[in-house]
Protein backbone atom coordinates (compact mmCIF):
# COMPACT_ATOMS: atom_id res chain seq x y z
CA UNK A 1 0.00 0.00 0.00
CA UNK A 2 1.22 3.50 -0.77
CA UNK A 3 2.07 5.34 2.45
CA UNK A 4 -0.20 8.33 2.99
CA UNK A 5 1.57 11.63 2.79
CA UNK A 6 0.65 15.20 3.46
CA UNK A 7 0.01 17.07 0.20
CA UNK A 8 1.84 20.04 1.64
CA UNK A 9 4.94 20.92 -0.41
CA UNK A 10 4.39 17.98 -2.71
CA UNK A 11 6.59 18.41 -5.80
CA UNK A 12 4.59 18.98 -8.98
CA UNK A 13 7.17 17.28 -11.15
CA UNK A 14 9.44 14.40 -10.15
CA UNK A 15 12.07 13.00 -12.51
CA UNK A 16 13.71 9.63 -11.91
CA UNK A 17 16.96 8.07 -13.12
CA UNK A 18 16.20 4.40 -12.67
CA UNK A 19 19.72 3.11 -12.12
CA UNK A 20 21.12 -0.13 -10.78
CA UNK A 21 19.24 -2.83 -12.68
CA UNK A 22 22.46 -4.53 -13.80
CA UNK A 23 24.07 -4.48 -10.36
CA UNK A 24 20.85 -5.73 -8.74
CA UNK A 25 20.94 -8.73 -11.09
CA UNK A 26 24.69 -9.40 -10.70
CA UNK A 27 24.35 -9.48 -6.91
CA UNK A 28 21.85 -12.30 -7.36
CA UNK A 29 23.94 -14.16 -9.93
CA UNK A 30 21.35 -13.31 -12.59
CA UNK A 31 21.81 -11.91 -16.11
CA UNK A 32 21.45 -8.12 -16.45
CA UNK A 33 18.21 -8.69 -18.35
CA UNK A 34 16.63 -10.04 -15.14
CA UNK A 35 17.44 -6.70 -13.51
CA UNK A 36 15.74 -4.77 -16.30
CA UNK A 37 12.70 -7.02 -16.06
CA UNK A 38 12.47 -6.43 -12.32
CA UNK A 39 12.97 -2.73 -13.15
CA UNK A 40 9.69 -2.69 -15.07
CA UNK A 41 7.85 -3.94 -11.96
CA UNK A 42 9.52 -1.19 -9.95
CA UNK A 43 8.39 1.31 -12.59
CA UNK A 44 4.79 0.13 -12.24
CA UNK A 45 5.05 0.63 -8.46
CA UNK A 46 6.54 4.09 -8.94
CA UNK A 47 3.79 5.21 -11.33
CA UNK A 48 1.08 4.03 -8.95
CA UNK A 49 2.75 5.70 -5.99
CA UNK A 50 3.23 8.97 -7.91
CA UNK A 51 -0.50 9.04 -8.73
CA UNK A 52 -1.38 8.22 -5.09
CA UNK A 53 0.94 10.97 -3.82
CA UNK A 54 -0.77 13.50 -6.09
CA UNK A 55 2.31 14.21 -8.20
CA UNK A 56 1.30 15.85 -11.50
CA UNK A 57 4.32 14.97 -13.66
CA UNK A 58 6.59 11.93 -13.44
CA UNK A 59 9.47 11.79 -15.91
CA UNK A 60 11.46 8.58 -16.18
CA UNK A 61 14.75 7.96 -17.98
CA UNK A 62 14.06 4.70 -19.80
CA UNK A 63 16.74 4.66 -22.49
CA UNK A 64 19.44 7.23 -23.11
CA UNK A 65 21.07 8.26 -26.38
CA UNK A 66 24.26 6.74 -24.93
CA UNK A 67 22.63 3.39 -24.11
CA UNK A 68 23.07 2.39 -27.79
CA UNK A 69 26.71 1.67 -26.87
CA UNK A 70 25.64 -1.36 -24.78
CA UNK A 71 25.93 -4.90 -26.16
CA UNK A 72 23.39 -5.54 -28.91
CA UNK A 73 21.59 -8.26 -26.93
CA UNK A 74 21.00 -5.90 -24.01
CA UNK A 75 19.73 -3.16 -26.33
CA UNK A 76 17.30 -5.59 -27.96
CA UNK A 77 16.09 -6.71 -24.56
CA UNK A 78 15.53 -3.12 -23.38
CA UNK A 79 13.69 -2.18 -26.59
CA UNK A 80 11.57 -5.27 -26.24
CA UNK A 81 10.72 -4.39 -22.65
CA UNK A 82 9.63 -0.94 -23.74
CA UNK A 83 7.51 -2.38 -26.55
CA UNK A 84 5.90 -4.80 -24.13
CA UNK A 85 5.39 -2.09 -21.53
CA UNK A 86 3.62 0.09 -24.09
CA UNK A 87 1.51 -2.79 -25.42
CA UNK A 88 0.56 -4.29 -22.05
CA UNK A 89 0.45 -1.38 -19.67
CA UNK A 90 -0.85 1.53 -21.73
CA UNK A 91 -4.48 0.36 -21.66
CA UNK A 92 -4.31 0.07 -17.88
CA UNK A 93 -2.56 3.42 -17.53
CA UNK A 94 -5.18 4.96 -19.81
CA UNK A 95 -7.93 3.50 -17.59
CA UNK A 96 -6.23 5.10 -14.58
CA UNK A 97 -6.22 8.51 -16.28
CA UNK A 98 -2.50 8.65 -17.04
CA UNK A 99 -1.39 10.88 -19.92
CA UNK A 100 1.74 9.60 -21.64
CA UNK A 101 4.29 11.76 -23.39
CA UNK A 102 7.49 10.43 -24.89
CA UNK A 103 10.52 12.71 -25.14
CA UNK A 104 13.77 12.04 -26.97
CA UNK A 105 14.71 11.70 -30.59
CA UNK A 106 12.44 9.71 -32.92
CA UNK A 107 15.15 9.87 -35.59
CA UNK A 108 16.53 6.47 -36.67
CA UNK A 109 13.91 4.54 -34.69
CA UNK A 110 12.08 1.75 -36.47
CA UNK A 111 8.78 2.95 -37.94
CA UNK A 112 6.89 0.31 -35.90
CA UNK A 113 8.40 1.68 -32.70
CA UNK A 114 7.54 5.26 -33.67
CA UNK A 115 3.95 4.18 -34.39
CA UNK A 116 3.71 2.48 -31.00
CA UNK A 117 4.95 5.58 -29.17
CA UNK A 118 2.66 7.88 -31.18
CA UNK A 119 -0.33 5.62 -30.47
CA UNK A 120 0.32 5.67 -26.72
CA UNK A 121 0.43 9.47 -26.77
CA UNK A 122 -2.67 9.75 -28.94
CA UNK A 123 -4.73 7.29 -26.85
CA UNK A 124 -3.99 9.05 -23.57
CA UNK A 125 -3.82 12.68 -24.63
CA UNK A 126 -7.08 13.75 -22.94
CA UNK A 127 -6.13 12.25 -19.56
CA UNK A 128 -5.23 14.40 -16.60
CA UNK A 129 -4.65 12.27 -13.50
CA UNK A 130 -0.87 11.92 -13.88
CA UNK A 131 1.45 12.93 -16.70
CA UNK A 132 3.95 10.15 -17.33
CA UNK A 133 6.83 11.45 -19.40
CA UNK A 134 9.01 8.67 -20.79
CA UNK A 135 12.48 9.73 -21.88
CA UNK A 136 13.39 7.28 -24.60
CA UNK A 137 16.36 7.63 -26.95
CA UNK A 138 16.87 10.78 -24.91
CA UNK A 139 20.01 12.79 -24.25
CA UNK A 140 19.85 16.32 -22.97
CA UNK A 141 22.77 17.66 -25.01
CA UNK A 142 21.22 16.19 -28.15
CA UNK A 143 17.86 17.73 -27.18
CA UNK A 144 19.48 21.15 -26.71
CA UNK A 145 21.29 20.80 -30.07
CA UNK A 146 17.98 20.03 -31.79
CA UNK A 147 16.40 23.07 -30.14
CA UNK A 148 19.27 25.30 -31.30
CA UNK A 149 18.93 23.94 -34.86
CA UNK A 150 15.19 24.67 -34.85
CA UNK A 151 15.78 28.21 -33.57
CA UNK A 152 18.50 28.88 -36.15
CA UNK A 153 16.20 27.61 -38.92
CA UNK A 154 13.50 30.04 -37.75
CA UNK A 155 16.04 32.87 -37.61
CA UNK A 156 17.19 32.06 -41.14
CA UNK A 157 13.58 32.11 -42.29
CA UNK A 158 13.24 35.57 -40.73
CA UNK A 159 10.70 34.38 -38.15
CA UNK A 160 12.77 35.40 -35.12
CA UNK A 161 15.70 37.71 -34.52
CA UNK A 162 18.82 37.13 -32.40
CA UNK A 163 17.49 39.57 -29.79
CA UNK A 164 14.41 37.43 -29.22
CA UNK A 165 16.42 34.43 -28.04
CA UNK A 166 15.72 33.95 -24.34
CA UNK A 167 15.61 31.11 -21.80
CA UNK A 168 11.85 30.87 -22.35
CA UNK A 169 12.25 30.61 -26.11
CA UNK A 170 14.85 27.86 -25.70
CA UNK A 171 12.56 25.99 -23.25
CA UNK A 172 9.77 26.16 -25.83
CA UNK A 173 11.99 24.38 -28.37
CA UNK A 174 13.01 21.51 -26.10
CA UNK A 175 11.24 18.14 -26.11
CA UNK A 176 9.81 19.12 -22.72
CA UNK A 177 8.08 22.27 -24.06
CA UNK A 178 5.03 23.02 -21.95
CA UNK A 179 6.11 20.88 -18.98
CA UNK A 180 7.11 22.52 -15.71
CA UNK A 181 10.76 22.04 -14.74
CA UNK A 182 11.29 19.10 -12.38
CA UNK A 183 11.13 20.07 -8.71
CA UNK A 184 12.80 16.87 -7.58
CA UNK A 185 15.11 14.43 -9.31
CA UNK A 186 15.61 11.02 -7.72
CA UNK A 187 18.49 8.78 -8.79
CA UNK A 188 18.65 5.25 -7.46
CA UNK A 189 21.67 2.96 -7.49
CA UNK A 190 24.06 5.05 -5.36
CA UNK A 191 25.69 6.97 -8.22
CA UNK A 192 25.60 10.75 -7.95
CA UNK A 193 25.55 12.19 -11.44
CA UNK A 194 23.06 13.54 -13.98
CA UNK A 195 24.07 11.39 -16.99
CA UNK A 196 22.84 13.76 -19.72
CA UNK A 197 19.29 13.92 -18.29
CA UNK A 198 17.26 17.17 -18.28
CA UNK A 199 20.35 19.41 -18.05
CA UNK A 200 18.55 22.61 -18.97
CA UNK A 201 15.39 21.79 -17.05
CA UNK A 202 17.13 20.88 -13.78
CA UNK A 203 18.75 24.29 -13.17
CA UNK A 204 16.90 24.58 -9.83
CA UNK A 205 15.84 20.99 -9.27
CA UNK A 206 16.47 19.36 -5.89
CA UNK A 207 18.43 16.10 -6.15
CA UNK A 208 17.91 13.07 -3.94
CA UNK A 209 20.28 10.14 -4.37
CA UNK A 210 19.00 6.82 -3.15
CA UNK A 211 21.35 3.91 -2.39
CA UNK A 212 18.88 1.15 -3.31
CA UNK A 213 19.03 -0.30 -6.81
CA UNK A 214 16.06 0.51 -9.04
CA UNK A 215 14.40 -2.95 -8.89
CA UNK A 216 14.15 -2.51 -5.10
CA UNK A 217 12.39 0.86 -5.40
CA UNK A 218 9.18 0.97 -3.37
CA UNK A 219 6.50 3.49 -2.44
CA UNK A 220 8.22 3.79 0.97
CA UNK A 221 11.54 4.77 -0.63
CA UNK A 222 9.64 7.23 -2.84
CA UNK A 223 7.94 8.68 0.25
CA UNK A 224 11.34 9.05 1.96
CA UNK A 225 12.68 11.00 -1.02
CA UNK A 226 9.62 13.27 -0.95
CA UNK A 227 10.15 13.83 2.77
CA UNK A 228 13.77 14.81 2.11
CA UNK A 229 12.57 17.20 -0.60
CA UNK A 230 10.19 18.80 1.90
CA UNK A 231 13.08 19.62 4.21
CA UNK A 232 14.93 21.49 1.45
CA UNK A 233 15.07 25.24 1.36
CA UNK A 234 14.41 26.24 -2.27
CA UNK A 235 15.70 29.72 -2.91
CA UNK A 236 16.10 29.75 -6.71
CA UNK A 237 19.13 31.99 -6.35
CA UNK A 238 17.32 34.41 -4.03
CA UNK A 239 17.49 34.55 -0.24
CA UNK A 240 13.92 33.66 0.70
CA UNK A 241 12.77 30.04 0.75
CA UNK A 242 10.03 29.39 -1.83
CA UNK A 243 7.54 26.57 -2.03
CA UNK A 244 7.17 24.53 -5.22
C1 LIG B 1 19.90 1.55 -15.57
O2 LIG B 1 20.40 0.38 -15.00
C3 LIG B 1 18.68 1.32 -16.27
C4 LIG B 1 18.51 1.40 -17.63
C5 LIG B 1 19.56 1.70 -18.59
C6 LIG B 1 17.21 1.18 -18.24
C7 LIG B 1 16.03 1.50 -17.39
C8 LIG B 1 14.97 0.59 -17.81
C9 LIG B 1 14.03 0.04 -17.03
C10 LIG B 1 13.82 0.36 -15.60
C11 LIG B 1 13.09 -0.92 -17.58
C12 LIG B 1 12.49 -0.60 -18.86
C13 LIG B 1 11.71 0.66 -18.91
C14 LIG B 1 10.53 0.79 -19.54
C15 LIG B 1 9.90 2.13 -19.73
C16 LIG B 1 9.84 -0.38 -20.03
P17 LIG B 1 21.82 -0.14 -15.45
O18 LIG B 1 21.61 -1.20 -16.47
O19 LIG B 1 22.66 1.01 -15.90
O20 LIG B 1 22.34 -0.74 -14.12
P21 LIG B 1 23.84 -0.75 -13.58
O22 LIG B 1 24.23 0.68 -13.35
O23 LIG B 1 23.73 -1.52 -12.31
O24 LIG B 1 24.65 -1.45 -14.64
Ligand 1 site, residue 234, Cβ cutoff 6 A: no
Q: Is 19 in the pocket of ligand 1 (CB under 6 A)?
A: yes
**What is the atom index within ligand 1 of the atom nearest the CA of 81?**
16
- 196 assigned to active site: no
Burial of 123 (0-12, 13-18, 19+ CB in 10 A): middle
Per-residue model confidence (pLDDT) at position 1: 66
DSSP string, 201-238: TTTT-EEEE--S-GGG--HHHHHHHHHHHHH----TTS
- Does ligand 1 have an atom closer than 6 angstroms to the CB of 21? yes
Active site residue 131: no
pLDDT tens per residue across span 13-42: 999 999 999 999 999 999 999 999 999 999
Give the chain's mean pLDDT: 95
DSSP one-letter string for 56-84: SEEEEEEEEGGGGGS-HHHHHHHHHHHHH
Q: Ligand 1 atom 18: the closest Cα is on which residue? A: 22
103-117, 203-217, 229-243: the lowest-pLDDT one: 229-243
Going by pLDDT thresholds of 50, 70 and 90, the confidence category of residue 218 is very high
Task: Go through the domains of the chain in sequence order and give each one's CATH number.
Answer: 13-139+181-230 (3.40.1180.10)
pLDDT digits (tens, 9 = 90+) for 106-130: 998 999 999 999 999 999 999 999 9
Which among 62, 209, 212 is the best mutation to test ligand 1's pocket, defined by most ligand atoms within 8 Å of the CB? 62
59 lines ligand 1 (CB under 6 A): no
pLDDT digits (tens, 9 = 90+) for 43-82: 999 999 999 999 999 999 999 999 999 999 999 999 999 9
Q: Which pTM was predicted?
A: 0.94
Residue 244 predicted with pLDDT over 60? no
pLDDT band, very low/low/confident/very high, at 234 (cuts 50, 70, 90): confident
* Nearest Cα to Cα of residue 180 among 244, 99, 119: 244
From CA 81, how far away is CA 39, in angstroms rounded? 10
Amino acid sequence: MTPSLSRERCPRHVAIIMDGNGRWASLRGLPRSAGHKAGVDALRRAVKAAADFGIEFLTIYSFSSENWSRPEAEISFLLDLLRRFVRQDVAELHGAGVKIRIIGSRENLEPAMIALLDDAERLTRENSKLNLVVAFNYGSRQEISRAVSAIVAKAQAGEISAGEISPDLISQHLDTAGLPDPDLLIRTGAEQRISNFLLWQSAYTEFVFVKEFWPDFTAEIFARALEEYRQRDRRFGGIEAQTA
